[in-house]
Amino acid sequence: MEKEENLNQEPKTSDFSTEEKSTDEQNNIDPDQKIDQNQEEEKKEISLEDKVKELEDKLTRTFAEMENQRRRFEKEKEDAFNYGGFTFAKEALNLIDNLTRSKLILENDEKLKDTEALKKTLEHFDIINKDLISTFTKNDIKPINCIDKKLDPNFHQAMMEIEDNQKEPGTIVQEIQKGFMIKDRLLRPSLVAVSKKTETNDQKDKENKENIEKL
C-alpha cells in the first residue's frame, strides 16, 4: 500500500530546474531600451552643463558691460565737472580779444597820440584785461606763454614767418592772438609768427629754378 501511495504522488520539481529571472526580465525591460535611456540621461546632463556655462558667460558679459557703463558715466561726470564751462570760457575769450583790438586801434590813432586821454584810457584797458585774466586763472583758465619757445602744434598755430638770423628757425617771435588752456585741455591755440633764416639771392635763385623744373 505504501508503494502505491508513493507512485500516485506527483513528482516534486527540483529547486534547480528553473533559473531565477533577473529584475529587468521581471519588469519586462528590453536591454537595448535601457541603453537608450542611459544615453538620453547622459545627453540631458551634458545639455544642462552647456546651459549652465552659457548662462555663466552671459552673466559675465552683462557684468562687464555694466562695469564699462559705470566707468563711462564716471568719466562723463568728471568731464562735466571739470570742463562744463568749456564753451562759455571759449566765448568769454572774445572779451580779451576785443580789448586788445580796441587798444591797438587807439594806439594807432594819430589824433590821440601822446594825449592824456589816451594814456588814461589805455590804463583802464590794462586794468580790465588783468581782472579778466585773474578771473580766468581762478577758474583754471590760463594763458599760454609762447614767446621765444619752439613751435608746438599742440599749443601753437603758425600764421606767418619772420626773417630772423638771431634765433633758430621755428622759434616763436611774435604772438598774434593769445592762446589759453583750461586745466590740462587746450581751450584755443596761440596764433603766432615764427622765425626763419634770411634767404640770400643765391638761395632764392636756386628755389626759383627748382620750382621751374617742377613745372
For 79-89, what is the mean pLDDT? 70
Q: b vs e for 169-195, b when ≥16 Cβ sit within 10 Å of the residue's Cβ?
A: eebbbebebbbbbbeeeebbbbbbbbb
For 35-45, what is the mean pLDDT? 60
> CATH 2.30.22.10: does it fit domain 143-199?
yes
pLDDT interval class at 167 (50, 70, 90): confident
Domain residue spans in the chain? Answer: 39-83, 87-139, 143-199
pLDDT of 111 strictly over 80: yes
**Mean pLDDT of all residues in the chain?**
76
pLDDT interval class at 7 (50, 70, 90): very low
pLDDT interval class at 18 (50, 70, 90): very low
